[in-house]
Amino acid sequence: MKQEGKNIFQRLQSGEAVSFTEQKYQEIGEAAAQTTKLLLELNATADVDKVRLKWGEITGQPLDSTSTIQIPVHVNIGRFTRIGKNVYINHLCSMLDMGTITIGDNVLIGPKVNIITEEHPVNPAERKALLVRPVVIGNGAWIGAGATILPGVTVGENAVVAAGAVVNKDVPANTVVGGIPAKVLKYLP
């Protein structure tokens, strides 16, 4: 059911499926195009301070001076991503953030990590619609190289997601998960 008075992003974040055929769907493409322009500038500089400034333009929130994003990086909208303090994001991280991505403090994100908040209904008759669910990465978490975090997942504090894992359900705090789909491999002290 459409929620009158809300923009397309508010409708998505409130749990509404939005069809590709909707007239207002173009607002997503327009926002993504603006972000792409800014990302081209961000990804063209090796100066960490300039990366922080450009990231602030993309997200509307400055990147803390204790956090680092290695280029290239990709985010489709940007304004729905929040990054804490003392965060390190390695090369080739890709974030689809319309459902909101929240990254806590002291987080390590390896190269080629995918953080995805967007999905489509499984039913073929409804598949040309977009659904979103938030992703939260807790303080002190470490996401290994090539891992994929899927929509709706919360990675608990101090948890480790092994390289190459596909995480489709919440990760308890102080655990190591790995595999496809990711499962708890051990508990941390």
Confirm whether 120 is a catalytic residue. Answer: yes
> Residue 50 forms beta bridges with which residues?
none
Distance (Å, whole) CA 163 – CA 159: 13
Strand 129-132 and strand 118-119: pairing? antiparallel
- Reference 4, options 24, 27, 26, 31; nearest CA is 24
Which of 2, 120, 169, 183 is an active site residue?
120
Q: How many CA atoms lie within 13 A of 94 on its CB side?
A: 8
Active site members? 120
